């Protein structure tokens, strides 16, 4: 079973790191993974889009997918892309800091997390995608929070290692922010690979 996830935002929100963590966390848990990233040449403010496919067997989907199981939307600029690619019954976790009420496809589930405010409250404004990723992991069970946290040490270069603690705090805060949400969008039938 393939689970395709779109991660979208703008440069400076941490979208690329969140996608790498999701892919690496899936690998740490023994799943098959594929990741593809696209971003503009602007360091801050340019578009940033990633596709991550996590599967319980050989990946069937190409890295650029026509349809996605779920999405993480950090900025309103990519909502049209997400809405056009999201499968019926899919789910979107959106950054409520920038999107008060995104347009809804009624057959999909929309989860709002105030990722920008939560990250800023932890002294890491660039960690808002990690807040969203922690919430997404809690809502879907796609990848465990522990695997995401462990992946930080594997992925961050030496000059960024000093941010591990604040990044873990953002992941954890996102997971905690998702706990009160009533619905879930389970990735796997029994909470694990099928």
Residue 193: what pLDDT?
39
pLDDT in tens, 27-52: 999 999 999 988 766 556 678 889 99
Bridge-based pairing state of the strands 47-55 and 86-95: unpaired
Q: Which of 75, 33, 20 is nearest to 187 (CA)?
A: 33
**194 band by pLDDT with thresholds 50, 70 and 90:** very low
Q: How far is CA 9 from CA 1, 46, 48, 88, in A?
A: 26, 8, 5, 22
pLDDT at 81 over 50: yes
Beta carbons within 10 angstroms of residue 48's beta carbon: 27
Two tokens, residue 74: 């950090």
CATH classification code of 2-178: 3.40.920.10
DSSP state at residue 35: E
List the structure tokens of 124: 């890491």
Q: Residue 65 pLDDT more than 50?
A: yes
Question: Is residue 187 within 8 Å of residue 140, measured between CB atoms?
Answer: yes
pLDDT of residue 96: 93
This prediction's pTM: 0.91
**Helix/strand/coil for 115:** helix
The C-alpha atoms of residue 174 and residue 168 are separated, in whole angstroms, by 10
- Please name which of 8, 167, 4 lies closest in space to residue 98, comparing C-alpha atoms: 8
pLDDT digits (tens, 9 = 90+) for 122-152: 999 889 999 999 999 999 999 999 999 999 9
């Amino acid at each position: 079973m393939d689970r395709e996830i779109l991660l979208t935002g703008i440069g400076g929100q941490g979208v690329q790191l969140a996608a790498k963590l999701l892919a690496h966390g899936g690998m740490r848990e023994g799943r098959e993974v594929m990741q593809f990233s696209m971003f503009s040449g602007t360091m801050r403010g340019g578009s940033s889009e990633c596709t991550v496919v996590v599967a319980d067997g050989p990946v069937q989907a190409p890295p650029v997918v026509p349809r996605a199981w779920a999405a993480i939307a950090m900025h309103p600029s990519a909502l049209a892309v997400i809405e056009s690619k999201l499968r019926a019954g899919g789910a979107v976790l959106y950054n409520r800091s920038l999107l008060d009420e995104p347009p809804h496809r009624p057959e999909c589930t929309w989860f709002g997390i105030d990722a920008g405010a939560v990250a800023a409250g932890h002294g890491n404004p660039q960690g808002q995608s990690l807040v969203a990723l922690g919430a997404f992991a809690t809502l879907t069970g796609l990848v465990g929070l522990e695997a995401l946290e462990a992946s930080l040490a594997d992925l961050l270069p030496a000059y960024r290692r000093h941010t591990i603690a604040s990044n873990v705090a953002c992941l954890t805060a996102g997971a905690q922010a998702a706990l009160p949400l009533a619905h879930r969008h389970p990735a796997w039938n029994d909470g694990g690979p099928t």
